[in-house]
Amino acid sequence: MCGITGYIGEQQATPVLLEGLKKLEYRGYDSAGIALQTGQGVVVCKEKGRIADLTKMVDLNVQSTAGIGHTRWATHGVPDRKNSHPHQSQSGRFTLVHNGVIENYLQLQRDYLQEVEMISDTDTEVIVQLIEKLSSEEVSTEAAFRKALTLLHGSYAIAMLDEQDPDTLYIAKNRSPLLVGVGADCRVVASDAMAMLQVTDQFIELHDEEMVLLRKDEVKIFTLGGERMERALYTAQLDQSDLEKGTYPHYMLKEMDEQPTVIRKIVDAYSNESGKLSIDSKVLQAFKGADRLYIIAAGTSYHAGLIGKQYFEKFAGIPVEVHISSEFGYNMPLLSKKPLFLFITQSGETADSRQVLVKVKALGYPTVTLTNVQGSTLSRESDHTLLLHAGPEIAVASTKAYVAQVAVLAICAYACGESDLELKKELSIAANAIQTVLDSKEDVRKVVEETLTDTRNAFFIGRNLDFYVSLEGALKLKEISYIQAEGFAGGELKHGTIALIEEGTPVFALATQRDVSPNIRGNVKEVTARGAKTSIFSIEGIQEEGDRFVLPHVHELLTPLVAVIPFQLISYYAALQRECDVDQPRNLAKSVTVE
């Protein structure tokens, strides 16, 4: 949440900062700003709104080869100009952008800044005012910066300008992502490598509680204790074209369309030399050595985890618990003797999941992260990483990452057990089935026109695996169309929720599980009798007359891969119908780096 860019080099900084911020907009889009060293001082331009609004305001005549930029997801203070980053110290000497949350900012304000008049409502302003205050006591900006960092409790990625030292960017990181990039004639900093691919693919990872002095030809990394650190460069494995929408109107549509290819890529990536599905032998050992698997995840990744539980239990006989990461920390269950923690996270940056990782690592338990982003925080900090191979997912609504998570979970569970299933073949059938559903977009659009045009709420119901897909369908719909939606286990309706069914209430029912198909159809009858507008999504082999949409046949355990597709499309067309911002829905951000 929140994106940071910084540039110091030979070129004009403004276009690099703005281009970088555009790439980071997925991290937050409430307000944006840049600050530029001009030689005669620092110029700040910031405003509520998107990067496109900022770009219109920026004066391209300002000459500057060093600057910082920020795109915000508000935590402290409403999204307005006053709370937008960059923030400046009272005298204007220091200018700073920040991603994270400073937990003790009110205490710091009371202890050090009573005489300073705060302009914003943010925790960030306290950092920059504190640095100014300490700069009068310390021998250098470097020392004041370091001292201030040691006083902060919480998470931060920081980039700062000192008007009196135009040749340096001051950088720091703790529990919020930040990378330094090394270009031919510049040094850069960014929350995500994709922001700076425009100038370099060579990056340096920063660790928690480190600060950096960045000059156009130099990167000096220090611990907060002052020890100098050396670190090698790595090459970012990202393709610029993966980051573009191309001819698509929205990233979400592009990413949904990529799903068959993603499944095929995963099958390739997880096939060994003899063409059999397999996973890294160390990860395999970790799974096999566990007497219970604890899956930790949030949002869509949690929904994938629920499906993963069935795979590990059915294919490998490993008992599994699935936990919402934000809850796990307060209420850790009694653990088994040999637990293994599996973190599922598209971004690899989710703070809720990371706080669990930190806790269980401290207890000495083994950890695996299933992520789309190699080198992300959770990937670096866990013992093992399994990759999703889905390519960058930019739309806030997760689609191809979910399908990738389900597919990789199936492969891992399969690799841990001895099943007769020809999973490789079944996954390839599933990829084709996904393509068939994607080719029926117009039909799904009609479902939306028939059912969601005037509604204020909607229900998704299913049983067994279909229940988990219903949870995901409901999350997708509410997230991008703002229609209040709930996913329910069909059997639970009559225990309360059926009271909400009125004349015309849309109910989408999944019927892909043979054993429970009669039961879910019974639930559909119950809600139809009470006025609901019902649509059944069934699957070849168990379809019945009147079903609204029949999915191509796939193996029963792999139905979540295919059943989710019409629900993704429903949410997409519902969002379009309501003229919502599909890729950047209100109040959200792609990477949730605050707890």
Q: List, in sequence order, the alpha helices (H) in 366-464.
A: 377-381, 400-416, 423-438, 441-451
Nearest alpha carbon to residue 297 among 319, 326, 320, 333: 326
Other residues' Cβ atoms within 10 Å of the Cβ of residue 60: 10
- DSSP 8-class letter at 315: I
Q: Which window, 247-255, 292-300, 436-444, 448-456, contacts ligand M6R (CB under 6 A)?
A: 292-300
**Candidate residues 346, 464, 505, 517; the one interacting with ligand M6R per rule CB under 6 A:** 346
Query: Does 307 participate in binding ligand M6R (rule CB under 6 A)?
Result: no
In the complex, least distance from residue 270 CB atom to ligand M6R, rounded to whole angstroms: 20
How far apart are the C-alpha atoms of 474 and 466, rounded to whole Å?
12
**Closest CB 356 distance from ligand M6R, rounded Å:** 11
Rounded distance, CA 219 to CA 130, Å? Answer: 24
Residue 310 tokens, joined? 């069935």
Looking at beta carbons only, is 371 or 538 nearer to ligand M6R? 371
| Binder of ligand M6R out of 350, 505, 517, 523 (CB under 6 A) | 350
| Structure token digits, residue 384 | 């093992």
Q: Which stretch binds ligand M6R (CB under 6 A): 37-45, 132-140, 344-352, 498-506?
A: 344-352
Q: Is 481 in the site for ligand M6R (CB under 6 A)?
A: no
Tell me the chain's radius of gyration from C-alpha atoms. 25
**What's the one-letter identity of residue 570?**
I
Q: Does 479 bind ligand M6R (CB under 6 A)?
A: yes
In the complex, least distance from residue 85 CB atom to ligand M6R, rounded to whole angstroms: 22
- Contact window for ligand M6R (CB under 6 A) among 120-128, 156-164, 340-348, 358-366: 340-348
Query: DSSP labels for 445-481?
Result: HHHHHHHTTT-SEEEEEESTHHHHHHHHHHHHHHHHH
Confirm or reject binding of residue 299 to ligand M6R (CB under 6 A): yes
List the 169-174 sheet strands across, edge first: 87-88, 94-99, 156-162, 169-174, 210-215, 218-223, 228-229
Number of residues that bind ligand M6R (CB under 6 A): 15
Q: Is 353 in the site for ligand M6R (CB under 6 A)?
A: yes
Q: Is the peptide bond before 86 cis (omega within 30 degrees of 0)?
A: yes
Token representation of residue 427: 């996954």
Listed in order, strand segments (DSSP E) in 164-217 are: 169-174, 179-182, 186-190, 202-205, 210-215
Minimum Å gap between C-beta 437 and ligand M6R is 19
- Among 347, 369, 382, 385, which residue sits at the site for ligand M6R (rule: CB under 6 A)? 347
| Residue closer to ligand M6R (CB basis): 299 or 560 | 299
Nearest residue to ligand M6R by CB is: 299
Q: Which is nearer to ligand M6R, 410 or 501 (CB)?
A: 410
CA angle at residue 549 from 544 to 552, to 5 degrees?
85
Site stretch for ligand M6R (CB under 6 A), options 236-244, 310-318, 395-403, 569-577: 395-403
Q: Is 300 one of the binding residues for ligand M6R (CB under 6 A)?
A: yes
The residue among 212 and 594 lying less far from ligand M6R, judged by its C-beta, is: 594
Does 308 help bind ligand M6R (rule: CB under 6 A)?
no
Identified binder of ligand M6R from the candidate list 397, 483, 520, 524, rule CB under 6 A = 397
Q: Is 502:453 a contact under the CB 8 Å cutoff? A: no
Both tokens of residue 303?
């929904």
Q: What residues are labeled active site?
A: 2, 590
Q: Could you give the CA distance from residue 268 to residue 256 in angstroms, rounded to a whole number? A: 20
Question: What are the tokens at 65?
Answer: 């080869």
Least Å from the CB of residue 373 to ligand M6R: 8
For residue 231, the tally of other CB atoms under 10 A from its CB is 13
x-or-dash string of contact with ligand M6R, 436-475, rule CB under 6 A: ---------------------------------------x
d(CA 25, CA 23): 6
Which of 65, 71, 95, 345 binds ligand M6R (CB under 6 A)? It is 345
Near ligand M6R by CB under 6 A: residue from 18, 36, 101, 298: 298
Which residue lies nearer to ligand M6R by CB, 113 or 342?
342
Q: Which residues bind ligand M6R (CB under 6 A)?
A: 298-301, 345-347, 350, 353, 396-398, 475, 479, 592
